[in-house]
């Protein structure tokens, strides 16, 4: 692909000189530099800690362990089933 880019004169001269020292064309040097840059894995950003916001500020009901979600689902299903039976 043929393209035109604009770079600072100082950067262009440094790239041209480095390419010459390494015995390659400026195009080959720039292509290699781009390939190396794209091959690097981006730094993984750490997600901010999750904060559970509850209504009323009192937290979950007594006896509710938010680390045991499957138990909460079973309890919720039992509540829904018993409500329909009435």
Enter the pTM of the model.
0.47
For the cut 80, the answer to whether the pLDDT of residue 9 exceeds it is yes
Output the CA–CA distances (angstroms, integers) from residue 10 to 17, 20, 22, 85, in the order listed.
11, 15, 18, 81
Count of all residues that appear for the chain in the document: 86
Q: What is the pLDDT of residue 52?
A: 79
């Amino acid at each position: 692909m043929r393209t035109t880019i604009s770079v600072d004169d100082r950067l262009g001269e440094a790239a041209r000189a480095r390419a010459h020292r390494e015995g390659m064309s400026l195009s080959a040097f720039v292509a290699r530099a781009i390939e190396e840059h794209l091959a690097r894995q981006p730094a993984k950003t750490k997600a901010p800690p999750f904060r559970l916001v509850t209504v009323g500020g009192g937290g979950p009901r007594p006896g509710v362990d938010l680390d045991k979600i499957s138990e909460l689902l079973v309890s919720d299903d039992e509540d829904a089933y018993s409500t329909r039976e009435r």
